Structure 1
């Protein structure tokens, strides 16, 4: 973890992901960069790995799922751009 990245950033990213999803339709998705931009402003690119990790923790807690091409995927197996959405029943 970079020196300027504290555990608080992880919590802020998790909260921002959920907040952004709450502001959208239940079927909508967000990109991890949306949360990184909202938390990191101009330094958002440095938060991309942390944002993906925050999404992974939310997946583990059963709050969201990761998708590619509209289909749920395992983040560990995902290559390339991903999307985050609320877990569907």
Structure 2
């Protein structure tokens, strides 16, 4: 059963919140973030603010997938992770 938009956003928020709280994660989680963002961006009725937010999160996931030290990458993004989750809470 495919996830609807709200399910995708909630899953995305959960992963980013876990990265924020734990200061660690896995490449698999970054790949999941990438897939979620791609799916959300494929929907054509998003406004510019949402697209910009999703692009930032996508870049975060790409850098995480390629990072030689994922925990350090996540720690570097701590302020942004918190901001992104708050923005998604306001949007949805």
User: Which of the five TM-score ranges fits, normalised by the shorter chain?
Assistant: 0.3 to 0.5
Per the normalisation by structure 2, the TM-score is 0.38
In terms of fraction of residues, the more helix-rich structure is 2
Per the normalisation by structure 1, the TM-score is 0.39
Higher RCO (CA < 8 A, seq sep 6+): 2
